[in-house]
Amino acid sequence: MRTGMRQGPEIWIRGPVAVPETAPPEPAHPRATARAFSWVGLHGGAGVSTLAAVYGGHDSGRAWPGPADPRSVLLVARTHAAGLDAVVPAMEVFRRGEAPHGLDLNAVVLVADAPGRLPRPLVQRLRTVEALIDVYRVPWVPEWRLGDLTGRPPRETEPLARLTGGPR
């Protein structure tokens, strides 16, 4: 037995060795594109037009998005009793497969119906919704009530702005 020689695997190649092709370099910082959304109101006055104007996306009003509109849906309701009560039945439409083909329910956006804190019974309804789906809350914005949509959105809505690719 020889000593002093390195032991290890021996590799034998039969035939020509292919030269590896060089792949084009990947971009240093790939860009993520924001998903486009359709805002769907669950009742009149939910705030769909305002949200679409501030955060971008398609204003569907109270109708389902059409074939050329974004397929990802954000359901919108106010935080009053009727608004919160409209959320779960609308989500059930998606769960049962009764929504138009190809639509994807992404989240629920709840817009404050008045300044201040929610009364306890509404908080309980809100928790029921939050247990079922992602919820983004939009606080009362006095400027929006007056039609001024030019200012920065409230900082509490930064998660919604990240989701929609809207202003931050």
Q: What is the 3-state secondary structure (H, E, C) of 70-100?
A: CCEEEEEEECCHHHHHHHHHHHHHHHCCCCC
Report yes or no on 30 lying in a domain: no
Assigned domain for 67 exists: yes
Count of domains in the chain?
Answer: 1
Angle subtended by helix axes 120-130 and 81-95, to nearest 10: 20
| Per-residue pLDDT reduced to its tens digit, 6-26 | 555 555 556 555 655 665 555
122 falls within a domain: yes
Beta carbons within 10 angstroms of residue 112's beta carbon: 19
Query: Considering the domain boundaries, does residue 16 fall inside one?
Result: no
Query: pLDDT tens digits for 54-76?
Result: 999 999 999 999 999 999 999 99
Residue 20 lies in a domain: no
> Which amino acid would we find at residue 13?
I
User: Looking at the domain assignment, is residue 26 inside a domain?
Assistant: no
Per residue in 125-138, pLDDT (tens digit) is: 999 999 999 999 99
Whether 34 has a pLDDT exceeding 80, the answer reads: no
Domain encompassing residue 85:
37-164
What is the pTM (predicted TM-score) of this model? Answer: 0.79
